[in-house]
Structures are given as structure tokens and as C-alpha cells.
A and B are shown apart, each in its own frame.
Chain A
């Protein structure tokens, strides 16, 4: 059970009671205003207690919340989108959605990882774990953007690249490596936003960007907490302990200079106001693109080089 969903349960009950009281207040002779006010105050207090400070593990659960807005929701909120399919070699990976788009009137190439909403769609999209053909589609679209001089906008949300047999047969390592290389080379502005889970190399393959943003409660990690716990301690059950040590929150990563910006979420998480959250993210991307647009291509690549060359250099 998702730890956030669990904690939300009481809150949602309270929310329903308040709504109920409000609905009935009109047709009852007694005045319920005071009672409603008390409940609302209590509600706000509990909400602050639960969500005012989230532990790293709670943030992992927030990033995986079943109602959290997914990549497709961000794509759908663009002014215009025309999907481009396939890697031109093997197939089309539904875990990656990409194509031409317009963002606040600006022509872009948009690429999103998408986990899928219901069970059928989750299976179709392989739970947002891209296979090699997905990363090869990304590389193709990034190169296309470079060819046409269009900025690249990515939405990162994956627990990691697909770890299955077919992915190994089709050289997952090579596909990810070449996707990362395409981002390093392309002479157009790149803005990446981690909207949920930034899972390891499978996320970095879309995130070597001039401007990297994280939604407040998203996470970005060298490995999933379960994977890290399994690797270090042979026990995936110790994921919460791993999460506490990995420094995977947006504040941690801003501190390390690994990301450039945090977009705040409403109290209770992005799913409490998907439309507002998505709008904030798109505004932040638009602002970043405006800043990057004035930098000449050569300098853009040089700055990108310096940025990633510097990260984590030992003293």
C-alpha cells in the first residue's frame, strides 16, 4: 500500500464529512456554520501535519501516488501535439510519448515517459519502463529537434529502464548510452522536468539538459530505494532505510547543483490540483526556454559541457 494513500485516508473522510455538512446545512433549521468552521480548521491542521514535512520515503510514495499526474497529462496540456512514433529499426515503445508540440506558442519537440493510468494501459506502457526501442526513439527525436533547431522538452517519470530479457537482447545499455550522448551533442536548448520518479540511468537518458527542474515531491535517484537496498544489503525490504540515505529529494539535489529549479506542489501533492501543478510546470519550462533562447548554439553546448563536467568533482 502506498504510504501517502494510507495517510490520506482519514483526511479524505474528513473532507467528505465537511462537504456533506455543507450540502445539508441549507435545508436544516440549525446553523452549522460554527461546526463546519471547526472541522475545516481541524482539516487544515491535519493536512499541515501530514504534508508539511515529508520524509524521503514518503516523497518516494508521493512520486508514485496512483493519482499523480503522468507524462501524458503534461503532453495533453500543451497548446498542440502531434505524436511521432517509432525508432525506425524495431518498433514503437508506448512507455515513451514524443513528438512535435507547441508550448505557449513556441514550437518544441516534447518527450515524456508515461506509466499509464489503468491496468490495461499500464501493461501497454510497460509501467513506464522504456525498452531499447524507446530510448532509440528518444535519440531520433532529439536529433530531429537539433536538425530543425527546435528546443527539446522532456518529462521524466520512470522507476527505471526495463530490466527484462528482450531489453538485454536488444542492447539496453547501448540504447541508453546513445540517448545520453544525443542530449550531450544536440545544439538546441534542452529543458528536463522530473515530474514523478527519476529512476537511475533510465531517467538520465532524458535528463542531460541545460535546465533541469524537479516537482517538489518528485524523486531522482541513482537506483530505486528497493534496488539500492537489494544491491547493498541483499534485502529490497529495507527500501525505506535506503531512501533515507540516498539524498534523492528535490532539496537535496538542488543543494548538490544537480538540478536547477524546484516547482512547488500544492499541500498534499500534485494530485490535489493536477491542472494547477501542470500549469506551473509548463510556465517554468517556458521561462527556462526564454532564457536559453538568447544563448548561441556553440555557447549552449559549451555551457552544458561545463555544467555536467563539474558535477560531483572531488575536492
Chain B
């Protein structure tokens, strides 16, 4: 049985305010409603493990979690990069900005990667790039379809060019996977921009966006500063992208799992392979971060 997402991030406060309509929401109810506001339908950003437990059937075998951050540039500004990483690790209960592994969705085995905006804005540095590349390679070896849920501010500044080169790394790994017949599905969630949207995210075969998610290349502020005028409210929303032909479909969160199940069925049909063995991975169940 699938477990309901249950706040991977423990929070003392039982109530939280919807940033959109300001309704006070009881947190357990919010979790049960897949972190969607019961009043205005606002989709909250989700913790990676909450999203994983919302999508998968039962078991999740994590890979790449042993790849942990270093500080390749020795970056320091107000605080050191290492301190920023420690702080985010504490805050997010994650070791880095993406969680990767194997699971099944609607009884179809998949390789699943989920980014988390709570960890340095979901930015892609060397660890995120390496974990994703291993996931794409794992999907290729096991002949599994791939689902990647993105949430990212782009490349991680504190790792400089090494971060930018993760766009190249994820690209070569994803293209080899696709060359050998692999099907990649990207779920674009709020927000997805910069180096992530401009690499593996938009190289997928099918592009799904969560309703009202903000998706684009340049950040909204950058554009406003460049053109010196306010942008319309719907600019860079999932719906805006759909209207301009940039993505395949927009989905409400409550329908996401069912949609992915159907898409995966089209992608693999009868070729679905047996549940992969838990080789060199850590098996977890549901939202046990």
C-alpha cells in the first residue's frame, strides 16, 4: 500500500498559512491533500521524500546518496559554502538537492529522481549532476523508463564552472539513455529555471508541468531588470508554456500519479521489466527520510 505523504520536514507548528489565499491550514490535513491548499488549490512546494511517497507504489531504493558535497572552489562570502551546506542539510533533512532511486509507479518499475527546492534552491552542483547521471545510467542498464521531477533555481553559483558543466554531464548521460530506447519523462514543478530547465529537463521525451508552476530560462527578476517593466502575472507559468507549445501537458497534483501511470504504460507497454534488485542502494519505504 502507498503511504500518504506526511511532512518529511517535521515542524512544531501544527498550522501553516497558505501563501496564496492566507487561509490557515492544519498541517496533517495539508499533507493528506498532497500539499495543495484546500481553499484555493495552491500547490505548495514539496519535500522530495513527500513527493516520492506520493508517486510510488511502495518501496524506494535510493542510489547515489553516498555522493555528498565538497567545496571544489573553496568558496566563502558572508559564510563559507561548507557552512551553507551544513545549514541546508539541517533545514531540509537531505544530504543534497536531489533524491534518486528505483521504485515502481502503477506497478511499472521506474528510475525516479526528485529535486528539492529546500536544499540551496534545488540548484545543480557537482553532487546533483553526479547523482542524476548515475540515475540515468542506472535506468539505461536496467532498461527502465525515467521520471525526473525538477525544482531548481539553476546552476549553483558556489561551484562555479564545475556546476555549469553538470548541464553537459546530465546531457551526455540522458542522451545515451534515450539513444538506447529509453523513455524520459520530466515533471516540471515550481520553480524550474536556468541550467536545469536548459539541460536534461527539457531534453525529455514527454514534458509534464504541475499546474501554475513557474518555469523558464531566465529568472523573473532578471527579465524585469532587463526590459525595465513589470511582467504579466501568468508569465512563465505552466499554463503560459502550454499555450506557447513548450510542454506537452499541465496537470493538477492530485492527478499526477494517474497521469504518470498512463504515460509509463504508453512508454513501456508489455516491455516492463521485473522489479529491480536492490543492488548497491538503500531501501526505504515511503516518506522515511
Residues of A within 8 A of B (CB): 161, 163-165, 167-174, 176-178, 180-181, 184-185, 200-201, 204-205, 208, 220-223, 227-228, 230-233, 241, 245-248, 252-253, 256, 258, 304-305, 308-309, 311-315
Contact = CB atoms under 8 A, between A and B. Distances in A.
A165 B198 contact: no
B114 interface: no
Determine the main DSSP class of A at the interface with B. helix
A170 B129 contact: no
30 contacts: A165-B227, A167-B218, A168-B235, A171-B202, A172-B198, A173-B216, A176-B198, A176-B217, A177-B201, A178-B203, A180-B168, A181-B171, A184-B172, A185-B179, A200-B164, A201-B194, A221-B161, A222-B157, A222-B159, A222-B160, A223-B155, A230-B222, A233-B77, A248-B160, A256-B162, A258-B161, A309-B173, A312-B129, A313-B130, A314-B70
Contacts of B215: 173
Nearest to A182: B175
A247 B159 CA distance: 9
Contact of B166 (A165, A223, A232, A312): A312
B135 to A, nearest CB: 13
A87 B69 CA distance: 40
B172 A304 contact: yes
B160 A308 contact: no
Determine the main DSSP class of B at the interface with A. helix
B21 interface: no
Given A165-B231, A171-B241, A173-B198, A312 B77 contact: no
Contacts of A168: 216-218, 223, 235-236
B32 interface: no
A222 B163 contact: yes
Given A172-B217, A248-B160, A184 B175 contact: yes
B52 interface: no
B176 interface: yes
B66 to A, nearest CB: 10
A201 B163 contact: no
Question: Which of A165, A170, A258 is packed against the most chain B CB atoms within 10 Å?
Answer: A165
A197 to B, nearest CB: 13
A174 B164 contact: no
A232 B194 CA distance: 15
Contacts of A167: 217-218
A78 B12 CA distance: 67
A201 B167 contact: yes
A205 B198 CA distance: 9
Contacts of A248: 160-161
A174 B246 CA distance: 8
Given A163-B218, A204-B164, A228 B157 contact: yes
A168 B241 CA distance: 9
Contacts of B67: 314
Given A163-B222, A173-B216, A232-B157, A314 B69 contact: yes
A184 to B, nearest CB: 5
Contacts of A233: 77
A201 B244 CA distance: 22
Contacts of B197: 173, 177
B58 interface: no
